[in-house]
Amino acid sequence: MNKETLIDVQKRIQPYIHRTPVLKSKLLNEISGVQLFFKCENFQKMGAFKIRGATNAILSLSEAERQKGVVTHSSGNFAQAVSLAAKKLGIKAYIVMPENAPQVKKNGVKTYNGEIIECESTPEAREATAARIKDEKGASFLHPSNQDEVILGNGTAAMELLEDHPDLDILMTPVGGGGLIAGTALAAHYFTENCKVIGGEPMVADDAYRSLLSGKIEYNTTFNTVADGLRTHLGDRNFPIIQKYVDRIIRVEEDEIIEAMRLIWERMKIIIEPSCAVPFAALLKNKEEFKNMKVGIILSGGNVDLSNLPF
């Protein structure tokens, strides 16, 4: 995973993704005292950056592998991303989802022709079911965050942002499974002199923050965060990258996440999901520290259930 790999990945996935816009907001600059550059992956295909990693992972498979399809377990954006990427590339996607997953998530997968395989709502059942499909169908397993091809694909969002604004002081992302911040950190490392990468994480699911402190992958015991995409833990592929290249992780309270989300909705008139608001909440919490700096924020996604908003 070096500079050339990232350049190759960017070229390879380009035809299948949007080059998303970078938005600025005078009002939010005034409120924060920071020069903000929002990379709008909420406008990405299927509504989140996840299509980048999913597309790259599938394109990395051999012809023979592709013919047998891909399988993942996810009830979130990665399920839709794999379904859409597989559809575009004309291959089969098997999506393992807990039987109690919200209908809106299931519909998302069906829209893109993903085949849903239901299982019990435990991590063990998910993994066992995905392993069974892998065996039965010969499908390749794609991990939502802990796989090199996924990490590299995710890094292309930051690469585009840095092409547009090469002089950023800071790059910020949310931290869930670690796939986005790891890819972003690689991009910052290989394509800037000294742009720091900082993560935002919910206080009640601060596994990554604790992992950086202890030096080993920590897990969450509470998950009760509005940022439903950030309940997962880091993995052995992305953790070493995060240890090496991420400056630090800032933790935020639930009300800070909701307030940051509301500010972006009201002031920028764009829809972002709660997980996506976490780095902006982290910035607002520490705004004095970032005064007058140029800060790029990856707005990770915009898939929300409009009937169930936190405000």
Kindly list the catalytic residues: 50, 75
Q: Give yes or no for residue 306 binding a second copy (CB under 8 A).
A: yes
CB closer to a second copy, 269 vs 291: 269
Residue 270: which of 17, 18, 16, 22 has the closest Cα?
A: 22
Beta strands across the sheet bearing 93-98 = 115-119, 93-98, 70-73, 140-141
Under the criterion CB under 8 A, does residue 199 sit at the interface with a second copy?
A: no
**266 lies in the site for a second copy, by CB under 8 A:** yes
Cβ neighbours of residue 92 closer than 8 Å, sequence gap 6 or more: 68, 69, 70, 86, 115, 137, 139
Shortest distance (Å) from residue 309 CB to a second copy: 7
- Residue 56 Cβ, how far from a second copy at the closest point, in Å? 21
* Residue type (1 letter), 54: A
124 forms part of the interface with a second copy (CB under 8 A)? no
Using CA atoms, how far residue 85 sits from 57, 115, 218, 235, 252, in Å, is 9, 13, 31, 23, 33
* 47 sits near a second copy (criterion: CB under 8 A): yes
Binding residues for a second copy, rule CB under 8 A, total 17
Is the CB of 62 or the CB of 308 nearer to a second copy? 308
Q: Which is nearer to a second copy, 87 or 137 (CB)?
A: 87
Under the binding rule (CB under 8 A), the answer on residue 76 touching a second copy is no
CB of 155 to a second copy, least distance (A): 22
Of 238, 14, 54, 38, the C-alpha closest to 154 is 54
Q: Which amino acid is at 140?
A: S
- Does the footprint of a second copy cover residue 265 (CB under 8 A)? yes
| Cα gap 14→17, rounded to integer Å | 6
- Residue 59 interacts with a second copy (CB under 8 A): yes or no: no
Nearer to a second copy among residue 45 and residue 237 (C-beta)? 45
Our finding on whether 141 is near a second copy (CB under 8 A) is no
Q: Which stretch binds a second copy (CB under 8 A): 136-144, 162-170, 215-223, 264-272?
A: 264-272
Q: Which of 12, 43, 87, 247 lies at the binding interface for a second copy (CB under 8 A)? A: 43
Does 262 help bind a second copy (rule: CB under 8 A)? yes
293: left (phi over 0), alpha (psi -120 to 50) or beta: beta
- Specify the pairing of strand 140-141 against strand 115-119: unpaired
The span from the CA of 206 to the CA of 19, in Å, is: 31
- Our finding on whether 21 is near a second copy (CB under 8 A) is yes
User: Using CB under 8 A, which of 95, 271, 282, 298 touches a second copy?
Assistant: 271
Instruction: Identify the CA nearest to 2 among candidates 187, 238, 239, 172.
Output: 187
Q: Does 110 bind a second copy (CB under 8 A)?
A: no
**Structural tokens at position 88:** 């575009």
Give the Cα separation of 246 and 186 in Å (integer): 9
Residue 309 lies near a second copy (rule: CB under 8 A)? yes
Residue ranges in 99-237 assigned as alpha helix (H): 103-111, 123-137, 148-164, 179-191, 207-214
Is residue 31 close enough to count as binding a second copy by CB under 8 A? no
| Minimum CB distance to a second copy, residue 271 (Å) | 4
Contact by Cβ (8 Å): 171, 195: yes
User: Considering only residues 270, 285, 287, 293, which one is a binding residue for a second copy as defined by CB under 8 A?
Assistant: 270
Q: Applying CB under 8 A, which of residues 269, 288, 291, 292 lies at the interface with a second copy?
A: 269
Residue ranges in contact with a second copy by CB under 8 A: 21, 42-43, 47, 262, 265-266, 268-272, 302, 306-307, 309, 311
